[in-house]
Amino acid sequence: MTEQELTDRVLDKVAGAPDLRFRDVMLALVKHLHGFIREVGLTQEEWRRAIDFLTATGQKCDAKRQEFILLSDTLGVSMLVDAVNHRLHQGATESTVLGPFHVAGAPMLPLGADIAEGEPGVPTFVSGRVTDVGGKPIAGAELDVWQTDADGFYDVQRPSLGAMRLRGKFTTDAEGGYRFRTVKPVSYPIPTDGPVGRMLEKLGSHPYRPAHLHMIVSAEGHAPIATHIFVAGDPYIDSDAVFGVKPSLIADFTEHAPGPAPDGTRMDRPFCDIRFDFKLSPIQP
Ligand code: BEZ
Ligand code: FE
């Protein structure tokens, strides 16, 4: 049997699958996988190491750690899936990678609340509006926000904490406005104590993500977006380990000397403020 005959026999078998979408996906998978092996001339030893790598990736996963998503993220697969699925949402705020640290059930907070109370870091006032793609304000839109602490860790990465922090949900007012207080996010490394960390090392690339705030913005009748606001000027803005940066999501975190703050209080230390508007597209009928 020739190499091509082998590929054709596998394709013939897959072509008989009754689920048509499954059939099409599997046909493309077999075609590209076989093509990849032929292209690189994969050795037996490389095949074995690939199996070991995937096995270790699975073994690293548990309820709190998803090494396969990290693998997808660091190979640009998550961002490509995101792009393919947002081809229709023209005019809406761009989405980016969700990441593994979103937690359902963050506390619903009043507008203006501080999600970083008692946390070290530069106080930061975040505000803006949620509108539709035509600029019409969306009242009652929800922003689900999360970020790292000053050391670059999410609450779920500190199991001893036993509680949520640096997370919150906000609902826009009648003009589509939102505002909350936090601390300026910092750049941080994605987890490197597993097979993905070893892969990055072998690639000679760093594991850092540029500083960002995460949010899922949603409103009835509109397509929800999972996105970030990135801090302009971050040293990793052009080399995000998971390829998540889009120019439209980079914002200036304007620095201010101590004095009057956007929430009407007086700050006795330097602070930042940042405005960022979100646009949602209608759900396609
Ligand atoms: C994050 O931004 O939280 C993240 C995204 C992808 C991989 C790891 C972390
Ligand atoms: Fe993050």
Q: Do the domain assignments include residue 19? A: yes
Same domain, 127 and 17: no
Same domain, 156 and 46: no
Q: Do the domain assignments include residue 258? A: yes
CB of 213 closer than 6 angstroms to any ligand 1 atom: no
CB of 100 closer than 6 angstroms to any ligand 1 atom: yes
**CA 213 to ligand 1 centroid distance, Å:** 11
Same domain, 89 and 73: no
Same domain, 69 and 104: no
Atom of ligand 1 nearest to the CA of 69: 7
Same domain, 7 and 117: no
Same domain, 55 and 88: no
Last residue of a domain, one of 61, 78, 95: 78
Same domain, 7 and 110: no
- Give every CB contact of residue 8 below 8 A, 6+ residues apart in sequence: none
Ligand number, closest to the Cα atom of 100? 1
Same domain, 43 and 90: no
Question: Could you tell me where the DSSP H helices lie in the chain?
Answer: 3-14, 20-40, 44-60, 67-74, 77-85, 195-203
Atom of ligand 1 nearest to the CA of 191: 8
Same domain, 218 and 262: yes
Residues within 5 A (CB) of ion ligand 2: 99
Last residue of a domain, one of 57, 78, 99: 78
Residue 94 belongs to a domain with what CATH number? Answer: 2.60.130.10
Given the structure tokens 């850092």, which residue do they identify?
Answer: 208
The pLDDT, as a whole number, for residue 159 is: 76
Ligand number, closest to the Cα atom of 242? 1
218, 142 Cβ separation under 8 angstroms? yes
What is the residue type of 272? Answer: C
Tens digits of pLDDT across the chain (285 residues): 899 999 999 999 999 999 999 999 999 999 999 999 999 999 999 999 999 999 999 999 998 889 999 999 999 999 999 999 877 778 999 999 999 899 999 999 999 999 999 999 999 999 999 999 999 999 999 999 999 999 999 998 887 877 889 999 999 999 999 999 999 999 999 999 999 999 999 999 999 999 999 999 999 999 999 999 999 999 999 999 999 999 999 999 999 999 999 999 999 999 999 999 999 999 876
Q: Do the domain assignments include residue 285? A: no
Same domain, 187 and 273: yes
CB of 166 closer than 6 angstroms to any ligand 1 atom: no
**CA 152 to ligand 2 centroid distance, Å:** 9
Q: Structural domain tally of the chain?
A: 2
* CA-nearest residue, atom 7 of ligand 1: 99
**CA 213 to ligand 2 centroid distance, Å:** 7
**In which domain, by residue range, is 23 found?**
3-78
CB of 242 closer than 6 angstroms to any ligand 1 atom: yes
